[in-house]
Structure 1
Amino acid sequence: MLFSLKSLSSAMALLPLVVANIQDIQTRDNTIERRLVEPVIAINPTDANFGISAVAPGRFVTSADGTKIFAEARGNPSKPAIVFIHGFGIGAMAFNEIFDDPDWLSQAYMVRYDTRGHGRSDKPTTAAAWVSQRLAEDFDAVVQSYNLNKPFVLGWSIGGTHIADILSFHPPSYISGIIYDAAVPDTASLFNVGAPGAIALVPSLIQTTNVTQFQEAYIDFINLCHPALEWNFYLACLGDGVVQPRAATALLLARTQNSTGLLQAGTSGALPLLAIFGADDKVVIKQASLDAIPGWQRLTVVTLPDAEHFTWISRPVLFRTTVLQWISQNA
């Protein structure tokens, strides 16, 4: 009987916790604001996630092909919506510092998700699961789940390529604007936009025969993103790389896109674009990124001094001010 009670207790611990998704939060100026916060749900073990079992704020949404995508929203639903799309290897937890910042929470409604193959989302390893339409449908599932209307989309690093997917299957009016943060605009430009030190790591990151080689390369990659991350966050970044199948990594880097819709949205003046770069970025080459979007009419380029590839960690106040002021001008 004792064993049964313990088993019941363990099972209950993994059930979604029943919490109100509206919370009163004291801001830095001592005012009280009511903000939406996701309930905490269980992340159950699945083959796709290598037995991950944990709890986290957020929800699973189902993409058109059945892939489960983990997403989370925080902030003020009355403010402009921003969907954050993370970069290579590191899931949506990359944006923890932003999603925990009261100033961000009071001025935006922020949604983030683990793109397929990353973090808590499913990790398909067939080529059919990585065609452009599938990734656009993942974004659609998140938009529909949170009832977003013309959100701004922030793509960090290789996360910027997802915006080309979105605009291949939707008109520019589907979103309000694009924020490229040290971004790769499309997969065709990946090996031009990537800095030599980062590109040199790719063979070691996708091979499956030498564990030490992979481990050293992924550590080197995280250190290229930022040389002095807080220890627990650093470990979390490494952890996201470990749970990603190497086959998914290879498919992510090898997939192809049609960038016509993206470029037409820019050259026609249909969408504004804010391109942010870190002056000390060792992963992405600024000019090569801009060269990949020639003729963009409504373009704002900002370079953050002394900022690494993790721009918002390097210069949190300047990054926040840059993004939110631009959004206020384009909302």
Structure 2
Amino acid sequence: MSYTPIVKHLRSSDGNPIYAEAIGNPKNPHVILVHGVGLSAATFNNLFEDKRLLDKVYLVRYDLRGHGRSGMPRSLEAYASSLFADDYAEVIRAFDLKHFGWSYGSSIAVDVCANLSPNPIGGIVYVNGLPYVGMMPKVGTPTVAGFVPGMVTSTDVALNGRTKLAFMDSLFANPECVDFDVKTSWIGQASLQPPDVPGSAEAVRGRREGLPLLILGGTADKQVMSDIVIKEMGLHFKDIDVVMVDGGSHALFYDFQDEVVAALLKFTARVAWVHAA
């Protein structure tokens, strides 16, 4: 069966525009895809076209504030943890996600758990993810730390451009083999975000001992050290599944799509069964 994406242009609690899409059968378990820093929901095009997923889950994706087709406010206050949670809540409301709860993302899950009550998430999937912003010095590689000055400069255009190109290359296992259309699309997404747009404010880490967590990592990730993420999350979650992909990159869902889809379907089926019981 073929599906056509449903596109919605939303407004968050502060009036900031939020771009969102959904595809699949809404009667299936709902999976919310949250993209990485500097990119947009369009990075998940391959998953939005994956029949294995569309047969089993209802996929929703949206552009985070400050990214892609969503609004890009310039004040630091506009990137408070509570506003990221409000954006998420508006996406839930707009698509009537009553049996939702599998958030495919990273630090946004912390914003949601810390600010929304009752907690709307039934399970979390970290794909080479940064669990919360303040954890970056501990889990980020020297490579990704070296990108920061060039990513945030608003005075050196050449440095900013070179850094974004290097950042993109670091996402993939073999960047020279990535489809040209994909690579230029991702670079274009990064270019939409001005360097002076603030990043996400650090959210308060909360204990989610009963919440199921799936950590997907790659042994060749150039940006995040998954072994440290696993160790840190073990202090806060009791129900953890871990899938490490040998040779896996940071853009694991692109370079190793089959492995990610299989793990995601297995996890969502388990969590859906628990919630239905």
Same fold, TM exceeding 0.5? yes
The offset of 1:313, in angstroms, is 1.5
Bigger radius of gyration: 1
Give the letter aligned to residue 153 of structure 1: S
Task: Tell me: CA distance 1:314–1:172, structure 2 relative to 1, closer, same or farther (3 Å).
Answer: farther
The answer for the alignment partner of 1:163 in structure 2 is 109
The offset of 1:76, in angstroms, is 1.8
Secondary structure at the residue paired with 2:55?
helix
Deviates more, 1:167-176 or 1:221-230: 167-176
Which one of 124, 149, 152 corresponds to residue 178 of structure 1?
124
The offset of 1:172, in angstroms, is 6.4
Question: Where do residues 47-58 of structure 1 align in structure 2 (5 Å cutoff)?
Answer: 58=7
1:265 matched to 2:202: no
Structure 2 distance, partners of 1:69, 1:89, is 15
Contact 2:20 2:63 in 1 (8 A): yes
Count of residue pairs the alignment pairs up: 267
1:232 matched to 2:171: no
The answer for the alignment partner of 1:47 in structure 2 is none
Aligned-residue CA RMSD (Å): 1.4
Which one of 299, 303, 309 corresponds to residue 240 of structure 2?
299
Question: Where do residues 92-103 of structure 1 align in structure 2 (5 Å cutoff)?
Answer: 92-103=41-52
Secondary structure at the residue paired with 1:165?
helix
Gap regions ≥5 residues in structure 1: 1-23, 26-34, 40-57
Bigger relative contact order, structure 1 or 2, given CA contacts below 8 A and separation 6+? 2
Structure 1 distance, partners of 2:244, 2:140, is 17
Give the letter aligned to residue 277 of structure 1: G
Deviations 1:170-222 (A, max 9, x none): 24642211111101001110222111101111011101111111111110000
Structure 1 distance, partners of 2:33, 2:84, is 14
Contact 2:112 2:119 in 1 (8 A): no
The answer for the alignment partner of 1:280 in structure 2 is 220
Structure 2 distance, partners of 1:247, 1:318, is 36
Gap regions ≥5 residues in structure 2: 273-277
Structure 2 distance, partners of 1:103, 1:213, is 41
1:195 matched to 2:141: yes
Question: Where do residues 96-115 of structure 1 align in structure 2 (5 Å cutoff)?
Answer: 96-115=45-64
Deviations 1:24-71 (A, max 9, x none): 52xxxxxxxxx4x235xxxxxxxxxxxxxxxxxx21111000001000
Structure 2 distance, partners of 1:279, 1:172, is 36
The answer for the alignment partner of 1:217 in structure 2 is 163
Structure 1 runs of 4+ with >2 Å offset: 170-173, 290-293
Structure 1 distance, partners of 2:202, 2:226, is 22
Contact 1:189 1:292 in 2 (8 A): no
Deviations 1:263-322 (A, max 9, x none): x212xx2x1000000121111111222243214100111101222111122211121111
The offset of 1:240, in angstroms, is 1.1
The answer for the alignment partner of 2:275 in structure 1 is none
Deviations 1:131-179 (A, max 9, x none): 1101100000100000012321011xxxx01111000112464221111
Question: Where do residues 146-157 of structure 1 align in structure 2 (5 Å cutoff)?
Answer: 146-149=95-98, 150-155=100-105
Contact 2:113 2:121 in 1 (8 A): no
Q: Percent identity?
A: 27
Deviations 1:201-248 (A, max 9, x none): 101110111111111111000000012321111111111111101121
